[in-house]
Amino acid sequence: MAPPRIFVVGSVNTDMVVVGQRIPAPGETVTGGRFVLAAGGKGANQAVAAARLGARVTLVAKVGNDLFGRESIDRFAQEGIRTEHVLRDSAQATGVALILVDAAGENAISVAPGANFALAPEDVEPALAELGPGDVVLLQLEIPLPTVAHAARLASAAGARVILDPAPAAPLDDAILRHVDCLTPNETEASRLTGIEVRDVASARAAAERLLADGAKSVIVTLGGAGSLVCQGDRCDHVPCPRVDAIDTTAAGDAFNGGLAFAWSSGKSLADAAAFATRVGALAVTKLGAQPSLPTAEDVSRFAPA
Ligand code: RIB
């Protein structure tokens, strides 16, 4: 069987990570951490996650004409990702994220988007002209919203399925949501999108029902160590998460989305795809860094949580 085709339209960042005991409060300095430079960006992370699992991935993105941009493109090629639609912008720097990780693996992230915010709606057209039924388009919100909306429209017109990871959270109108086959907010994003405070499975269900009523065809609310809630029509299924020792939660959501796109486009039901994606996300938190933490298909099949 040919590998599933996944088109990721999204961001590319270089992550500068400091791992310390705790994340400083505003105005505070905390010393004693260690520094790691890692490849990141929600779009790039999701593209790498899907490629390592075995998908044929096309990345549609924009980087600066600088060292970080050139290194990113080289790395995508080494991962087997199609890079002809990764554009270069001489007027902007490649995106950079400053990430603080604490001893429990929790993080705080500040992003300078640079070239990511120069990815215009017309930039995605050549790549998405290749779409057909059976393909999956994976979107996030680290690029301009009009570009996300245009990509979703083109994908749904071509009969491809659209997964939208609404991260970082931003208001979404029904002109976008009606083209979304699966919306994948975490608790924070689901709370911001609906005004319903999501803190458990019951409140996640209430938020998912609101997002379905707003136009999304299905919704998966990811709940960290509590797994995820998969809602379609009037049915919601809770998918538990295996217990792992968390080193760094950065890119756990990206691993989940890459895994979901891979498994869904390989023919699994949405609930089974979410269960697979949960294992991919769980593995990603056991290693430091965004792309360095993303597992291969072999890692996932060997994963035997306690
Ligand atoms: O989702 C994790 C990613 O968010 C990091 O890699 C960082 O680049 C930010 O975009």
- pLDDT tens across 212-238, in order? 999 999 999 999 999 999 999 999 999
132-169 burial, b for 16+ CB within 10 Å, e for fewer? Answer: eeebbbbbbbbbbeebbbbbbbbbbebebbbbbbbbee
**Percent of the residues in the chain that have a pLDDT greater than 90, as a whole number:** 96
pLDDT of residue 306: 64
pLDDT band, very low/low/confident/very high, at 1 (cuts 50, 70, 90): confident
Q: What is the pLDDT of residues 247-286, one digit of tens each?
A: 999 999 999 999 999 999 999 999 999 999 999 999 999 9
Closest ligand 1 atom to Cα of 167:
1
In order, the DSSP letters of 231-284 are EETTEEEEE-------S--TTHHHHHHHHHHHHHHTT--HHHHHHHHHHHHHHH
Q: Which of 89, 135, 165, 254 is catalytic?
A: 254
Residue 125 confidence (pLDDT) above 90 = yes
What is the whole-number distance in angstroms between the Cα of residue 178 and the centre of ligand 1?
Answer: 26
Q: Report the percentage of the chain scoring pLDDT > 70.
A: 100
Q: Take atom 8 of ligand 1 and give the residue whose Cα is closest.
A: 41
Closest residue by CA, ligand 1 atom 9: 41
What is the set of domains in the chain, with CATH numbers? 5-11+41-91+125-302 (3.40.1190.20)
pLDDT, average across residues 105-121 = 96
254: annotated active-site residue:
yes
The atom number, within ligand 1, closest to the CA of 142 reads 10
SS3 16: strand
Atom in ligand 1 nearest the alpha carbon of residue 44: 6
> What is the torsional sign of CA 29, 31, 33, 39?
positive
How far does residue 89's CA lie from ligand 1's centre (Å)?
20
Q: Indicate if the pLDDT at residue 105 is higher than 90.
A: no
Q: Would you say residue 84 has pLDDT above 80? A: yes
Return the residue whose CA atom lies nearest to atom 7 of ligand 1.
41
pLDDT of residue 173: 87
Pocket of ligand 1 (CB under 6 A): 11, 13, 15, 40-42, 45, 97, 109, 111, 142, 250-251, 253-254, 290
Q: Can you tell me the mean pLDDT for 5-9? A: 98
Cα 237 to middle of ligand 1, angstroms = 28
Q: Return all residues near 12 (Cβ < 8 A) that are at least 6 apart.
A: 41, 43, 44, 59, 61, 62, 63, 69, 72, 86, 94, 95, 115, 116
